[in-house]
Every structure is written in C-alpha cells, then in structure tokens.
Chains A and B, each alone.
Chain A
Amino acid sequence: MKKIILLILGSLSLNLISCGDGGKSRIDKIKSETIKTPEANPKGIGEVKNVTLTDPLEENMIKSGKAIYEMKCSACHKLTDQRVVGPGWAGVTNKRRPEWIMNMITNVDVMLDQDPEAQKLLEECLTRMPNQGVAIGDARDLLEFMRQNDLDKTQQKDQALTKN
C-alpha cells in the first residue's frame, strides 16, 4: 500500500515538474540559461578579464582604495588574516589572481552562484558577501590597497600569479 502511495506521489511530482516547464517564469528562464556546470577559472567570472599590475605601487590608488575599504568593506574584512564575517585580507593577492579578486568585488552574486572557489568561501563564512556597488575602477584601487597591505603584513604580494 505504502509503495503504491509513493508511486502515485512520485509520478505526481514528476508530472508537476514537467508541467512547470511549460509555464516557466522569466526568472527561471534566466536562471536556467546562466547556471552552467562550473569550471574553475582562476580569473573568476565577470567583466574583468586581464589586469596589468604595475610596480612600484600607485600611491593615489592605494589612498583611494583605503578610503573605499573603510567605507564599504571594513565591517566584514580585517586587514590581518583573521576571519570575522568574511576572510581577513592579509595575503589575499598571494592566494587569488587580481582578476578573481576584482570579479568577486564587482560581480559577487554570479561569483557566489557559479565560481567554485567563491562557493567554498560561502560554505565557510555562511554569510553571502553583499554587492557593495563598487565600480570596476574602484575595485582596481581596492586591489592596489590589498597589494600594499600584503606587503605590510606578509612581506610579499601578487604570489598567486606565479602559482598559475
């Protein structure tokens, strides 16, 4: 008897699912179009494809990056390696490529949905990183500030580039 009920329920739910396909809402359509099997890209997903890093560091960019950090990021990210809400920033440019960092900042919702590394971080931190409305140019300034912070805290920077 139980089996029969299960069977009925099973076929009913199948039926419901197949029915649902016909009347897909716009959101579902967008979702099904954008969610593809993730393939780890060390550069992440987003508009930022190639970043040219310069040495020595740009003082003006560091200054602007610091101001943005203080306003939009410092509530969750410390400059040490201590995780509070999100991971601490010390050493981030040694672990992540500059494109990945900038895509994470500017395209965070897609990254959290599709990028395997970003998803791992979400599992650890359990709070979705918010979209803080940072423009790509501003994200570049943040990156410069991270590079300076890495030099201060770990005496090296940009090591992720040599790993990949």
Chain B
Amino acid sequence: MKKTKIQKIVWFLFSLAVFVTACSKRDSKTVLEGDAASQAYVAPGEYDEFYAFLSGGFSGQVTAYGLPSGRLLKEIPVLSKYPENGYGYSEETKAMFNTSFGEVPWDDTHHIELSQTNGEFDGRWLFVNGNNTPRIARVDLTTFETVEILEIPDVAGLHCAPFVTENSEYLVSGTRFSVPIPQRDVPIATYKENFEGLINYVGINQETGEMSLDFQIRMPGFNYDLARNGKGKSHGWSFLTTYNSEQAYTLLEVNASQKDKDLLAIVNWKKAEEYVKQGKGKERQTSYYHNLVNERTSIAESKEITTTTILDPADCPDMVYFIPVPKSPHGCDVNPSGDYIVGNGKLSADMSIYSFDKLMAAIEGKDFAGEINGIPVINYESGLHGILKKPGLGPLHTEFDGKGNAYTTFFISSEVVKWDVEKLEILDKQSTFYSPGHLVIPGGETRKPFGKYLVAMNKITKDRYLPTGPELAHSAQLFDISGDKMKLILDFPTKGEPHYAQAIPASKIQPNSKKFYKIEENGHPYAAKGEGQAKVVREGNEVHVYMTAIRSHLAPDNIEGIKMGDEVYFHLTNLEQDWDVPHGFAVQGANNAELLVMPGQTRTLKWEPFKPGVFAFYCTDFCSALHQEMSGYVRVSPKGSDVKLMWGLNNENKDEETLREMLKEQERSQ
C-alpha cells in the first residue's frame, strides 16, 4: 500500500518534470534559420542602420541602441541623477531635478516620443515621461543631452505620456492615478466625490523645442493609461485609453476589472485650442517647475509657475467624447493612414478596432448611449471598424509596418501577432521570451514606418542569458519583418526596464551629431577660456577655482590657502576642440560625484573640505599617454590659519596680490 503511494508520487513527479521540460524547451528555443546571425551582423567599423531609443523604466534614463546589431551606444541620463558624469550633481545640472516637491533625484521613464514633422520623425528632439513625480523631459538629439524638464501639476503617475502630434504641436498626457485637485486631506473612501483626472496639452516651440503647459482638460476620476494622436485625416484628435472606470481605490486588481468595458477618450484638441483662445479656460492656482538649460551658459535654470488653464468639458461642448473599449485597455494605436484606432483590452480575448470615419459619423449623428460628467458616450458598435477575434491573450501594444499590417504584443501568451488591419485577419504568430510589454518598429507609429525590423521588449527574462543572481537584465528580441513571416534574428539584454522605445533611421541623426562645443561660444560665467584665465578667487568662505583641462594637465594643479569651512567650487573648462576628448575631474572625499566635461564645456563640482591636509585631484577619463600625470594637489589648512591663497602650474604660482598687479598691468596696456 505504502509502496504504491510512493510509486504514484514518483510517477507523478516524473511526468511533471517531463511536462515542465517539454514546456520550457518549446518556449525557450526557436529554430533559427541559417542566415539569422548574418542579418543582425554589423561588421567592425560599420554602422547600424537605425538608432533605437529605449526608455529605462526604473533606471530613470534612456538608452540608445544600434539596430540591427543590438549594440548599446549610450545611456543618456534623463530623470535620474548620474554620478558617472555628474548629471544632477554638478552646479550646472542640479536645477534639472527641482519640482514642487523639492529636489526629486529619481523618476521612472516609460514612453519615448521623437519629434515629428508631417507625421514623420525629424530627428530633432526626444521626449520621455517621468511617471512618479509627473514630468516630461526633452533630450536634444544633436548632443544626446537632457536640456529641459517640465513638471505637470495636479496629476499622479504620469504614465499616459508624452504622446506627440504629427507636427510636434503638442505632447498629450493623462493622469494614471486620479487624485484630489487641488491636493487636500480627504478620506480615500471619498474617491467618487473628490478625485479627478486631467488630460494635459504641452505645447512645443518649433524653433527651440521649449515646452509649455498650454492647457489641461478636467476629466472624470478614472485611470488614464496610454494615448496616441491622430494623423492624416484624424490629425487634430487624441485618443486615450482609460481603465478603472469602476473608480475603485483598493484592490484594483479585482475591483477595477468588474466592468465588461472601460472607455476610450476622444479629444478634439483643435476645438480645445479654440476654446482657450476664446477665454473659456479657467485659471487655477497651482505650483510646478520648469527647468531649462540656458544654451549660452549651459547652466540649467529653474522657475516655478503658479497658474494653469483648465478646460471643463461641461462648459466646452464637442471637445471630448468617450467610446467603450473591452476590459482594462492598455495601448491605443493609430495606423499610418490615420483611419483606424486599435484598442487593446488587456483582459479581453478580442481586440476592438475603431474607424475614424465611423466615429466622426456617430458624433455628427449624435449616436450616443449616454454621458459621463457632460461627456457624450458614443455607441460601441457605431464606431467599430471590426473585431480581431482571439488573436492571443493580453494584447498590450500595436505598431505598423506601412504595408497594411499591424503587429501586437501579447503579454499573457508571450507572443507577437501580425495581422491585416483592413481585413482583420491573423497572418503570423511568433513567440517572444517572455511576456512582452511594448514593441517597436522603426517609425512604426508614424505615417511612414520602416517595416524592416521589430523589437519586442520583454518583462521576463528567466533562462535567456547566463544567470546573474536574482536580478536579470530584461530581454529584447529583434525580428526581421520584411517577409511574410516574422523571423527572430537577435536576442539582447537591455538596461533598467524598457517600456516603450522608438527607432529612427540613422541618417536622420548622424549628420547633425555635435562633435564638441565651440569654446568661443562658451558663455559660462566661470569659464576659463584659455590657460591664462586660470585662477583662484576667494569671496568670503566661497573659493572659486577657474581651472582648465587639456591633454595632459590641469591648470592650476597646485592650490594652497583653502581653509576648513570653505566651500570650494572647481569650475573646469575643457579647452579641447576635438571630437571624443572629454576630461574628467575627481577630488578625494567629494560627497557628490565626479565631472565629465565635454570639449569646450565648463562644469562645476562643489567640494567642502573634510579635514586639513593635502588632497589629490585627477582626470578620470583616459585622455592621452600622459593621462596618469594629469593630476594635482589642493592644500587645506585649519580655520583661521594664515596660509596665503596661492595657485599655479609648473612652479609659476600666483597669489591674489600678484593677480591684482597683473590685472592692473593688463588694464594699462589696453
């Protein structure tokens, strides 16, 4: 009796093991065709065809990869401080992290949007959202540096952001978490009375790229998830998915999944613009920060803004509509012609595809099923182009190849499905490893996709790479989509958690990439534009070191007369005028970070001496054969000591008195 029980257990375990092994084999290994490697191979010295910009999720940054090689080209620091180059620590970049909550040094980057002209990527700017403390950042694609961060007031979890219109008129965004507006101390259970949502329109200056919050639309307290703007015929409209139309505030997993359908918000932003012009917006007191790098000085400047313009759909007819969309949608994506809007219901077995023409006809004919807070709800069937039946489980995000096909990720069934948008037919399915969130096709959300490659960004990695302890890099898989069937050709690890990415032909960025900053144009107030301007100036207990760097010395490299209690500012100007010659600066005991200074640039590190003594500083970026020699000493004396402030290079030390004489001399000679 006992034996048989044990036998049974053993047999059960054995069959389970067989099952599991078979399962994982089926899942993790895909037959690669012989030439797959050569398709992703970019020979040494050759360039990739596309740049792909991946958001970093919890890393707060953005990474640039080459496609098809999967080479990591750069990690761009955006919404998290970055001691590697001093971003957020240097005096020039500190202000980038100012918010109405004070300095917030980290954020969660989700969705990359590249600027567009006529519905195509133009390669000027990259925008990305900060999810946690709502912000939108702009990266200049000539330098790959973050140049602006705009906070969005009165929203929470700015997930639904920053989606660009086809001529970069606006970035549309929506609140993920509805909250009391203005913020106030109320019981959470009063959600339905007190919590509101907002849809935000950030305008973009076409010359400078500068962002401004132009208006916000008051919305019911739902969760706004993702959005896209119309293009071509649907230009002028935005489409935003919502979930939690149940307005649950606890155990959302269950309570926000009750209804069979949630809602897609449809906004006529051209109409909204008119209402703003007519003065229908209401000014509301608030607080948010706008941080912008001054191009002349390269110093970030911060300002607080205290009012915002609110449009209420109840006072502004024909501006906002809803249409039902199956259960807890995630992506909502517009095809290249602007005719169709794909609604992906995460918890639905089917996908709803809306027709822009039908939506317009329904609005025209007032084909409404009711209204919510003065917002008409269009009849579901009236706006529908059709339903894609049972393509997979958990559809998340769709992009297009420009040949009439759509590609959708399925999180639960771990696959990418290719389907015909017009005919609503499934054409191909390929597994991904494992559980993809977003996918990206170069130009895949624009009017002109480059339907050659597709990258699926997976949330779960498990057995794809050599293990690295409990935490694994997220995996991405590259597919060749030029043929009828998708072909897996490369698998590569990514940084942080890429949510969305956008990819653009290299030819739109490469020719404009800046090689160095012209020293003549350096307008930094503490720049030493030439070694003759290197000096040390005391202003009370502040000591400013105007230092220069060129292969292979720092000037001055001997500094004496610093006292305990001083705040020392090292302003390092890189005098080089050549590509790829940054210099670094590190000083012992610095409580912040180091500096990496690009050619022609000035960057400042604040240093507060910790104890008397002589401390070394050095260049951290291997710059030449004599890089190890690129160093110096700073002497710190006790408070109140009579050591004279002196500095110099190669025993040509100067002190304040000598300097004053030199300046007089210069004045006389001029």
Closest Cβ neighbor of A82 among chain B residues: B650
How far does the Cβ of B602 sit from chain A's closest Cβ, in whole Å?
Answer: 13
Query: Judging by beta carbons under 8 Å apart, are B43 and A133 in contact?
Result: no
- Known contacts A23-B43, A25-B43, A75-B530: A131-B578 contact under CB 8 Å: yes
Bound complex: CA of A76 vs CA of B577, how far in Å? Answer: 14
Query: Judging by beta carbons under 8 Å apart, are B575 and A126 in contact?
Result: no
Query: Judging by beta carbons under 8 Å apart, are A127 and B551 in contact?
Result: yes
- Known contacts A127-B625, A131-B577: A70-B530 contact under CB 8 Å: yes
How many A-B pairs with Cβ below 8 Å?
65
How far does the Cβ of A74 sit from chain B's closest Cβ, in whole Å?
Answer: 5
Query: Judging by beta carbons under 8 Å apart, are A85 and B577 in contact?
Result: no
- Known contacts A85-B552, A132-B578: A27-B530 contact under CB 8 Å: no
Bound complex: CA of A133 vs CA of B625, how far in Å? Answer: 21
For the complex, is A130 an interface residue (Cβ under 8 Å from B)?
yes
Within 117-164 of A, Cβ neighbours of B (below 8 Å) are at: 126-128, 130-134
For the complex, is A81 an interface residue (Cβ under 8 Å from B)?
no
Query: Judging by beta carbons under 8 Å apart, are A71 and B575 in contact?
Result: yes
With a cutoff of 8 Å between Cβ atoms, the chain A residues found around residue B575 in the complex are: 71-72, 75, 132
For the complex, is B626 an interface residue (Cβ under 8 Å from A)?
yes
For the complex, is B44 an interface residue (Cβ under 8 Å from A)?
yes
For the complex, is A2 an interface residue (Cβ under 8 Å from B)?
no
For the complex, is A53 an interface residue (Cβ under 8 Å from B)?
no
How far does the Cβ of B399 sit from chain A's closest Cβ, in whole Å?
Answer: 32
How far does the Cβ of B561 sit from chain A's closest Cβ, in whole Å?
Answer: 23
Query: Judging by beta carbons under 8 Å apart, are A133 and B581 in contact?
Result: no
Within 411-453 of B, Cβ neighbours of A (below 8 Å) are at: none
For the complex, is B280 an interface residue (Cβ under 8 Å from A)?
no
Query: Judging by beta carbons under 8 Å apart, are A127 and B576 in contact?
Result: no
- Residue among B519, B530, B553, B650 with the most chain A CB within 10 A? B530
Bound complex: CA of A126 vs CA of B626, how far in Å? Answer: 8
Query: Judging by beta carbons under 8 Å apart, are B625 and A74 in contact?
Result: no
How far does the Cβ of A127 sit from chain B's closest Cβ, in whole Å?
Answer: 6
For the complex, is A7 an interface residue (Cβ under 8 Å from B)?
no
Query: Judging by beta carbons under 8 Å apart, are B45 and A71 in contact?
Result: no
Query: Judging by beta carbons under 8 Å apart, are B552 and A70 in contact?
Result: no
Query: Judging by beta carbons under 8 Å apart, are A128 and B516 in contact?
Result: no
Query: Judging by beta carbons under 8 Å apart, are A26 and B530 in contact?
Result: no
B interface footprint on A5-39 (CB within 8 Å = 1, 0 otherwise): 00000000000000000010111100000000000
B interface footprint on A79-114 (CB within 8 Å = 1, 0 otherwise): 000001100000000000000000000000000000
Closest Cβ neighbor of A70 among chain B residues: B530
- Known contacts A25-B45, A70-B530: A128-B577 contact under CB 8 Å: no
How far does the Cβ of A70 sit from chain B's closest Cβ, in whole Å?
Answer: 4
- Known contacts A84-B650, A127-B626, A133-B518: A25-B46 contact under CB 8 Å: yes
- Residue among A72, A132, A133 with the most chain B CB within 10 A? A133
Within 33-57 of A, Cβ neighbours of B (below 8 Å) are at: none
Contact residue range for chain A? 20 to 34
Query: Judging by beta carbons under 8 Å apart, are A72 and B43 in contact?
Result: no
With a cutoff of 8 Å between Cβ atoms, the chain B residues found around residue A26 in the complex are: 45-46
- Known contacts A75-B531, A130-B581, A132-B578: A27-B45 contact under CB 8 Å: yes
Query: Judging by beta carbons under 8 Å apart, are B581 and A70 in contact?
Result: no
Within 509-527 of B, Cβ neighbours of A (below 8 Å) are at: 516, 518-520
Closest Cβ neighbor of B581 among chain A residues: A130
Bound complex: CA of A96 vs CA of B414, how far in Å? Answer: 70
Query: Judging by beta carbons under 8 Å apart, are B578 and A133 in contact?
Result: yes
Within 38-54 of B, Cβ neighbours of A (below 8 Å) are at: 43-46
With a cutoff of 8 Å between Cβ atoms, the chain A residues found around residue B529 in the complex are: 71
- Residue among B550, B553, B650 with the most chain A CB within 10 A? B550
How far does the Cβ of A16 sit from chain B's closest Cβ, in whole Å?
Answer: 14
How far does the Cβ of A162 sit from chain B's closest Cβ, in whole Å?
Answer: 33
For the complex, is B555 an interface residue (Cβ under 8 Å from A)?
yes
Closest Cβ neighbor of A76 among chain B residues: B550
Tell me which of A27, A127, A132 contacts B552 (CB under 8 A): A127
Tell me which of A27, A28, A130 contacts B550 (CB under 8 A): A130
Bound complex: CA of A134 vs CA of B553, how far in Å? Answer: 21
For the complex, is B532 an interface residue (Cβ under 8 Å from A)?
yes
Bound complex: CA of A75 vs CA of B576, how far in Å? Answer: 10
Bound complex: CA of A60 vs CA of B529, how far in Å? Answer: 20
How far does the Cβ of B420 sit from chain A's closest Cβ, in whole Å?
Answer: 40
Within 18-49 of B, Cβ neighbours of A (below 8 Å) are at: 43-46
Within 100-127 of B, Cβ neighbours of A (below 8 Å) are at: none
Closest Cβ neighbor of A125 among chain B residues: B626
- Residue among A74, A126, A128, A134 with the most chain B CB within 10 A? A74
How far does the Cβ of A5 sit from chain B's closest Cβ, in whole Å?
Answer: 29
Bound complex: CA of A84 vs CA of B629, how far in Å? Answer: 14
A interface footprint on B545-580 (CB within 8 Å = 1, 0 otherwise): 000101111010000000000000000000111100
With a cutoff of 8 Å between Cβ atoms, the chain A residues found around residue B625 in the complex are: 126-127
For the complex, is B255 an interface residue (Cβ under 8 Å from A)?
no
Bound complex: CA of A75 vs CA of B516, how far in Å? Answer: 18
With a cutoff of 8 Å between Cβ atoms, the chain B residues found around residue A127 in the complex are: 551-552, 624-626
With a cutoff of 8 Å between Cβ atoms, the chain A residues found around residue B578 in the complex are: 130-133
- Known contacts A75-B530, A75-B550, A75-B575: A133-B516 contact under CB 8 Å: yes
Bound complex: CA of A96 vs CA of B550, how far in Å? Answer: 25
Query: Judging by beta carbons under 8 Å apart, are A72 and B577 in contact?
Result: yes
Query: Judging by beta carbons under 8 Å apart, are B553 and A75 in contact?
Result: yes
With a cutoff of 8 Å between Cβ atoms, the chain B residues found around residue A74 in the complex are: 530-532
Closest Cβ neighbor of A133 among chain B residues: B577
Query: Judging by beta carbons under 8 Å apart, are A130 and B551 in contact?
Result: yes
With a cutoff of 8 Å between Cβ atoms, the chain A residues found around residue B46 in the complex are: 25-26
With a cutoff of 8 Å between Cβ atoms, the chain A residues found around residue B518 in the complex are: 133
Query: Judging by beta carbons under 8 Å apart, are B43 and A130 in contact?
Result: no
Write the residues of chain B forming the contact surface with A, with a CB cutoff of 8 angstroms.
Answer: 43-46, 516, 518-520, 529-533, 548, 550-553, 555, 575-578, 581, 624-626, 650
What are the 5 A-B residue pairs with the smallest beta carbon separation, nearest first? A25-B45, A133-B577, A71-B530, A75-B531, A131-B578
Q: Given contacts A70-B531, A85-B550, A127-B551, could you give 5 more A-B pairs where the C-beta distance is less than 8 Å?
A: A25-B45, A75-B555, A76-B550, A130-B578, A133-B516
What are 25 A-B residue pairs whose CB atoms fall within 8 Å in the complex? A25-B44, A26-B45, A27-B45, A70-B533, A71-B575, A72-B530, A74-B531, A75-B531, A75-B548, A75-B550, A75-B575, A76-B550, A84-B650, A85-B552, A126-B625, A127-B552, A127-B625, A128-B624, A130-B551, A130-B576, A130-B578, A131-B578, A132-B577, A133-B518, A133-B577
Write the residues of chain A forming the contact surface with B, with a CB cutoff of 8 angstroms.
Answer: 23, 25-28, 70-72, 74-76, 84-85, 126-128, 130-134
